[in-house]
Amino acid sequence: MSSAAPGDAARRCAAHLEDAPWALKEWGSLVAPLLSGDVALLIRRGGIHEPGFAVRGSHAVIFPTAFHDRGNAASEIAAKLPAAQAVRSKSATPQAASREGGVPLAAAVEIVCTWRVDSPDTLAPLAKLAGLTVDEVYARRPLKPTHGLWVLLVRAYPLTSPIHLPWHRSYGGCRSWITLHAPPPLVPGDPVLTEDALASVRLQVASLVGPARV
């Protein structure tokens, strides 16, 4: 885990996004909880078009989607987090990308470390840290037994100027990662979570599923 100062971390994030502008699809309802610090974990299984989940890079911008997001882009837990509600109330942009409305980008993440687990049963106690209900954790069970579930400890960065991109045909489909089509510069602000907060979450996950993969 990096011990860089917030400003250094933001500059490092910007450099990674410039070199490799990966976008990680995630429910639009989780963007505000990520930016408020209420959510520090992402639970992934990989899309239908992918052979399981794999991390493509250490940093990515969040591509907000409503695909599979039950509750019309507002998961039950995320909608009840006060800090996330405050972040959401400040934003006038749509929560999720669409062909008609384009792609709102407001957050980037640093993938600090990962864990692979074979069953969502282990992750039920961590549902709140992922902004999910226990049922939503179970809904993310692997599409194939050999794929496993991946838990990502992430550090969120708000983009200093939220961006709205036009829709591109390459953004569709059930996949985890996409490459943004001709994005403008992505400039992250200081990270939301402190090193101590990240370390605390990491210990909670490790106590359930063992050491992380760095």
The whole-model pTM stands at 0.85
* pLDDT value, residue 45: 85
**Do residues 45 and 141 touch, judged by C-beta distance below 8 A?**
yes
* pLDDT value, residue 81: 57
Asked, for residue 81, whether it belongs to a domain, the answer is yes
Asked, for residue 141, whether it belongs to a domain, the answer is yes
Asked, for residue 145, whether it belongs to a domain, the answer is yes
* pLDDT value, residue 72: 39
Asked, for residue 160, whether it belongs to a domain, the answer is yes
* pLDDT value, residue 92: 44
* pLDDT value, residue 187: 93
Asked, for residue 90, whether it belongs to a domain, the answer is yes
> In CATH, what number is assigned to the domain containing residue 114?
2.30.130.30
Strands 149-165 and 103-117: antiparallel
Asked, for residue 214, whether it belongs to a domain, the answer is no
Print the domain residue range for 130: 6-209
* pLDDT value, residue 172: 87
Asked, for residue 147, whether it belongs to a domain, the answer is yes
**Do residues 2 and 9 touch, judged by C-beta distance below 8 A?**
yes
Q: Which two tokens stand for residue 23?
A: 């976008």
* pLDDT value, residue 105: 93
Asked, for residue 1, whether it belongs to a domain, the answer is no
Domain count, the chain: 1
pLDDT tens series, the chain, 214 aa: 455 677 899 999 999 999 888 999 999 889 999 999 999 999 988 777 777 788 988 999 999 987 555 543 345 555 555 554 555 545 544 467 777 778 999 999 999 999 998 888 888 888 888 988 888 888 877 767 777 889 999 999 999 988 899 999 999 888 889 999 888 899 999 999 999 999 999 999 999 999 998 7
Strands 149-165 and 59-65: unpaired
Q: Which DSSP string corresponds to 53-80?
A: -----SEEEEEEE-TT-TTTS--TTGGG
Q: How far apart, in whole angstroms, are the C-alpha atoms of residue 172 and residue 180?
A: 12
List 115's β-bridge partners, or say none. 151
